[in-house]
Amino acid sequence: MQHRRLGRSAIYVSDICMGTMTFGSQADEAESLRILDASFDAGINFYDTAENYPVPPDTKWAGRTEEIVGKWLKTKDRDSIILATKVCGPSHGWIKGSQRAGMTALDRHNITKAIEDSLTRLGTDYVDLYQTHWPDHGTAYDETMETLDDLVRAGKVRIVGCSNEDAWGLMKSLEASSRLGTVRYETIQNNFSLNNRRFEDALSKVCVKEDVSLIPYSPIGGGVLSGKYQDGARPEGARFSRYLEIGGRQAAMAHRFVNEKSLASTAKFMEIAKEAGINVVTLATAWSKQHKFVASTIVGVSKFDQLDDIFAAADLTLSDDVMKACDAVTKDIQYPMG
C-alpha cells in the first residue's frame, strides 16, 4: 500500500481509503466490523464516515455508521488510524440532512453541535479530517472557515476538507481562508470514476495549482462498473436496486448512475479489464489512484467477499496502453453520468 500527503498537511494516508456509508443499513454491524478488520490488515489506515450515514439518509438510523466505526476504533491503536467524518451541508440544498431534525446548515451552531455529536458516537476526542459534506453557496464562507479554524485550535480536528464542491466554491473558500488567516480545505471529496470524469474539466487544475488533494468517492461508479447492473439486472439488496424502489430523489440518483450510456461504457471497460487480465473493479480502482491530484481513493463495500478485487489494486500500476484504452472509451461515450 502506497501513502500520499493530504494537501499541504502533515498527514499521510494509504492511497486506498475505506468508506463506510453502507454500515448500519446494507451491511449489519458484524459484517461491517469484519470489513474494517480486513481493510486494516490489508494496510489501509484511512477511513471515511459521516454524521449523515448510513445511506439512504433516514432519521431512524442516522449516526449508526459512526457508532459502528467508533466501536471498531476501540480495538485499534488510535494513532494508527486516520479518521475522517463530515458535517451535513444545508438541508435546503441538494439533499436533506438526517441530523438535527433536518435543519442542518454550515453555520457556527450546526458545525459545533455536529462535531460534538460525532466525537461522542466515534468514541474519540478528535478526528483527523473534518469535511463539509455539501456546500451552501448562499452563505458566506467566512463563518464556516472561522468555525472550522476554532475546532482545529481546540484540538478536536486536525485538518479540514470539503465535499461535493465545485471549482468556484473551492476557490472562494481558499480565498476566505487566506484573507482571514484560518485553516484551509486540504482535501475535496467528489465523485470521480471511469464513468464520471467531470472533475477533470476544471477542479483537477484547481487541486494541482492550489495543493488540494482529491479523495474521490464512487470509483466503481456506485457499483455500476462492477458489471452487476448490465443487461437490465437489478441485484437484490444492491444500492440502486433499492433506490429505484424508494423513488423520488433516490430514484433520480439511481438513474444518473445506471443508464444506457453508463452501461455501454461499463461494457467497454469490462473488455479492457479482461484483456489486461484483471477484474474490472480492480481496473477502476487502480485507474482512480493513477492521477497526480488524487491522494486516496475511497472504496466501499457492503459484503466482505467484495474486498479482494479492491485490494488487488493496492500496488497495481496500469500500463500506458490500458490508460489510453480507457481514455478512448471516454472520448467515444462522453459524460455517461451527465
Q: List, by residue number, the catalytic residues.
A: 53
Q: How far apart are CA 71 and CA 245, in angstroms?
A: 32
DSSP state of 27: B
Q: Are 35 and 44 in contact (CB under 8 A)?
A: no
CB neighbours (10 Å) of residue 169? 20
Q: How far apart are CA 213 and CA 184, in angstroms?
A: 12
Sign of torsion, CA 176 124 297 12?
Answer: positive
Residue with grid cell 440502486, as numbered in its chain? 240
CB neighbours (10 Å) of residue 167? 16
Written as one string, the DSSP assignment of 110-152 is HHHHHHHHHHHHHTSS-EEEEEESS--TTS-HHHHHHHHHHHH
Written as one string, the DSSP assignment of 250-265 is HHHHHHHHSSHHHHHH
Distances (CA, A) of 38 to 61, 72, 78, 162: 25, 12, 17, 28
Residue with grid cell 474490472, as numbered in its chain? 280
User: What residues are paired with 246 via a beta bridge?
Assistant: none
Written as one string, the DSSP assignment of 35-97 is HHHHHHHTT--EEE--TT-SSS--TTTTTHHHHHHHHHHTTS-GGG-EEEEEE---TTSSS--
Written as one string, the DSSP assignment of 190-232 is -B-BTTB-GGGGTHHHHHHHHT-EE--B-TTTTTGGGTTTGGG
